[in-house]
A and B are shown apart, each in its own frame.
Chain A
Amino acid sequence: MLPGIASAESWMTSAAEGIALVVIVTGLLQVAFYILQLVFAAFALTNRPPVPRGATLWRRYSDQAPAISLLAPAFNEEVTVVESVRSLLALQYPDFEVLLINDGSKDGTLARVIDEFGLSRVERFVDDRVAHARIRGFYASPALPRLLVIDKENGGKADALNAGINACRTSLFCAIDADSILETDALLRVVRPFIDDPDLTIAAGGTIRIANGCTIDAGRVTDVRLPTNFFALVQIMEYLRAFLMARLALGKMQALTVISGAFGLFKRQQVVEVGGYSHGTVGEDMELVLKLHRHMRDMNQPYRIEFIAEPVCWTECPEDAKVLGRQRSRWQRGALECFVKHKAMCFNPRYGRIGFVGFGQILLVDVVGPLIEVLGYILVPLLYALGLLALPWLLAFLSVTFTFGVFVSVATLILEEIQLRRFPRARELAILALVAVVENFGYRQLSNIWRLQGWWQFLRKQQSWGTMTRKGFGGASPT
């Protein structure tokens, strides 16, 4: 062989190995971080503060439980809004107020709530510290002192929540999605850190689970079952990983970067101090938590942001690839927006573990993760086929993308089974174990493509939310 050709071949092999190395090292870092999270999550679950059982929980905590305002933004929720409000009003908590915020719905959301609950227009003295679109009116009824409807001009979810923050009169508020279902004792459980450590705790989040397939009666999940739709099944595993592994572990490390917009409890004062939810981002829930970290660190004030595994909020997930894809690319866009907006915190010693662990996770999993992984799917098999990579490189790539992936998913399921056991039948556990394996072959790759779409939308500064088609939990139909 001519020396020139040999040198070019050697250069190409080195380049191919370099590419594979970057892909494998990135994958390994992710896997190592996930395994660390599993360890922390297992520790957190094993040592979670004991909580009394149902009746004792009420007796013990109801005396000291601070009042909570439940902020439920609603936009075109005509089909489900009445059932959602009924379900919220039936929560077991000593002192709470439901603030339903009609965010300029174009359908009959407002009229339906007014008719169903016999509301009439009232006045309310509200704060003006956080910015939001104009409030058109307040509606309430003396017969339902726990319900207040705020009718405002459309401004998006963050804007609606800001209106709720200004209108609420409690030191704590709980941000939820109007179409989610909270377990009856979820508030009593999520408030625990605010009772146990009232001076330090500024926010707490709980677990979101998928309600698709479950039996729902009168706004309550009465029988936990698995859905038959594949996308819904896979999302059950994804949510288990996200909440039971990642958030629980990051909470334990005091490096939680997101509390789900579907269920989070916050101290109003600190949220007002950071200006409430930000407009113009699709990741407003993540951004709020980052702002809180930043604010408290900048003020040099001790604080805690907790995640508790047991208070559960049930939500309906998309069963259609198109809708799911839109949701995932939006989440990706949200994470990127937050990262860029607060990039000064990344690996900045001033922000301690949130700067290193929290932002390290965003950088590794949300920013570079999908790019490198998709690059690996294309290049590593191709370079192997061209003879530029030896078999061990391909095997190592397969290990970081498939086999370790199976391990992390199955290990999370084990954690769920040992510690929480929310799936009542053995058959369901078996199905989920199968899903934990299968999702790594096809779905994981598809999910990465959706995330790349999110990257692309982020680069093009696209702001739309896309539409989320919901079936509704109770099958109520608009009048």
Chain B
Amino acid sequence: MTTLVSLWDFSLLLCLIALAAVAGLLLARVIGEWRGKHRADWRRKLLPAMMGGETIDVGGSRLARSVAATLTLELTELVRGSDREALITAASSAGAGEELRRRLRSRAPQDRLIAAEALAMFPDHVDAVTQVALTDRSPDVRLGAALALAQEGRAPSAGELVRALGIGTREHSLLVVSLMRDLVKTDPHSVEALLYDLDLPDEAKLAATDALAESGAIDHAPLVSWMAEAAGEDSDLQPRIFRALGRIGHPAGHEAILGGLDSPSWQVRTAAAEAAGRSALSRAVPKLAGMLDDEEWWVRFRAGEALARLGAAGRLALHRAAIDPAPAARAAAKATLAERGMA
């Protein structure tokens, strides 16, 4: 009986604590709204000054520094070039940099990430982002900081970043491709060097490949040769390699693409078919025509799409397949032609 009564007492206690907490939160809201007026006052003062690139003296006001930091976060996304530089200078004079530096050590990862992203734009505080945010306990903050630094052209070398972030081991985000793209803009050779580093995982190399493939900053021949070699290896990354080969369209990748069309993996066959179409590989027409009868719809679809891209030879193959005795090939060819108004 004591247990039953204790249960009742305990539930009442929990209930009262929860209601008291809500009352506290309501009070905090009211106080917050009151403080919001002061924030709004500072906002009104700081906004035109920061937009005008003026030097601002906020005295020792922590609230002003906080408002300046928040305004920096909002405004830097809206301006570019010399306007942004002026804005950053004004924000620095208002103490935004110091405030963001403080937020780099906030308990909430969201705050740390936002602070790191903004601070990467302050030339005087890049060291803090490199030393604090790139070694943050949250992988999202580390990656976000690396992306922000790379975008500003202030990142450490590609090799250092790959190791610091654990790309291919702990970090599998597709955002590393964006990171590599930004790194390629400022230091393409450090990204290219990743391909020849035997200690790095393939995933890191593939991210580098994706980025280099879209850049005109390096000679594509050795890159394609690396990709062609990697395309022959049995790996989960093969479809991505074929797609990258298709994007580059370099003739040195054609043999690898033709080989991919025969892969036992339907994902690889699909990617290779897509690459054949994109890289105008007319030698692939007979194989692609045969793939219209593939058991996997994606392969049939991409093969049809590739044939439609491959000019007269491809269209002829589609028309022939449209009267093929194999029902799957016939349906695929007819539908591909009809969809493109070529029937």
Enumerate chain A interface residues (CB-CB to B < 8 A).
24, 28, 46-56, 59-61, 63-64, 122-129, 169, 195-199, 390, 392-393, 395-396, 398-400, 403-404, 406-407, 410-411, 413-414, 417-418, 426, 429-430, 433, 437
Contact = CB atoms under 8 A, between A and B. Distances in A.
Nearest to A138: B339
B301 A406 contact: no
Given A64-B175, A125-B304, A407-B11, A50 B144 contact: yes
A414 B25 contact: yes
Interface string B11-38: 1101100110110011001100100000
Contacts of A61: 175
Given A123-B335, A396-B5, 16 more contacts: A52-B117, A55-B77, A60-B144, A61-B175, A124-B339, A125-B304, A127-B301, A195-B174, A198-B172, A395-B8, A399-B11, A407-B15, A410-B18, A414-B21, A418-B25, A429-B29
A399 B173 CA distance: 47
B22 A429 contact: yes
A413 B339 CA distance: 52
Question: What are the 4 A-B residue pairs with the smallest beta carbon separation, nearest first?
Answer: A125-B335, A399-B11, A392-B4, A395-B8
B11 A417 contact: no
A197 B139 CA distance: 12
A252 to B, nearest CB: 15
Contacts of B297: 127-129
A392 B1 contact: yes
Interface in B137-193: 138, 140-141, 144, 147, 172-175, 177-178, 181
Contact of B236 (A48, A128, A199, A395): A199
5 contacts: A52-B114, A52-B117, A128-B297, A390-B1, A404-B14
B15 A123 contact: no
B77 A56 contact: yes
B142 to A, nearest CB: 11
Given A51-B110, A125-B301, A199-B172, A398 B8 contact: yes
Interface of B: 1, 4-5, 7-8, 10-12, 14-15, 18-19, 21-22, 25-26, 29-30, 33, 73, 77-78, 108-110, 112-114, 117, 138, 140-141, 144, 147, 172-175, 177-178, 181, 236, 297-298, 301, 304, 332, 335-336, 338-339
Instruction: Label chain A's interface by main secondary structure.
Output: helix
B14 A403 contact: yes
Contacts of A124: 335, 339
Interface centre among B15, B112, B147, B301 (most CB of A within 10 A): B15
Contacts of A59: 77
A375 to B, nearest CB: 18
Nearest to A403: B11
Contacts of A28: 7
A123 B338 contact: yes
Contact of B25 (A48, A403, A429): A429
A197 B173 contact: yes
B48 to A, nearest CB: 21
Contact of B4 (A50, A198, A393, A430): A393
A426 B29 contact: yes
A63 B181 contact: yes
Interface centre among B10, B14, B112, B336 (most CB of A within 10 A): B14
A122 B19 CA distance: 59
A56 B140 CA distance: 14
B244 to A, nearest CB: 14
Nearest to B109: A50
A433 B174 CA distance: 42
A52 B144 contact: yes
A53 B339 CA distance: 40
Contacts of A418: 25
Contacts of B30: 426
Contacts of A406: 15, 18-19
Contacts of B339: 122-125
B203 to A, nearest CB: 10
A49 B140 contact: yes
B144 A196 contact: no
A396 B8 contact: yes
Contact of A395 (B4, B110, B338): B4
Interface centre among A196, A392, A399 (most CB of B within 10 A): A399
A201 to B, nearest CB: 10
B45 to A, nearest CB: 23
A393 B78 CA distance: 64
A98 to B, nearest CB: 18
Contacts of B1: 390, 392
Contacts of B181: 63
A429 B22 CA distance: 8
A368 B138 CA distance: 41
A50 B141 contact: yes
Nearest to B30: A426
Contacts of B138: 49-50
B175 A60 contact: yes
B19 A433 contact: yes
A411 B19 CA distance: 8
B22 A410 contact: yes
A52 B140 CA distance: 10
A123 B335 CA distance: 7
A47 B11 CA distance: 28
A258 B78 CA distance: 40
Given A50-B109, A396-B7, A56 B22 contact: no
B22 A399 contact: no
Contacts of B26: 426, 429-430, 433
B4 A396 contact: yes
Interface centre among B175, B335, B336 (most CB of A within 10 A): B175
A407 B7 CA distance: 13
Contacts of B73: 53
Given A124-B339, A396-B4, A417 B14 contact: no
B210 to A, nearest CB: 10
A400 B10 CA distance: 11
B5 A392 contact: yes
Nearest to A197: B172
Contact of A53 (B11, B114, B173): B114
Given A125-B304, A196-B172, A50 B112 contact: yes
A52 B113 contact: yes
Contacts of A196: 140, 172-175
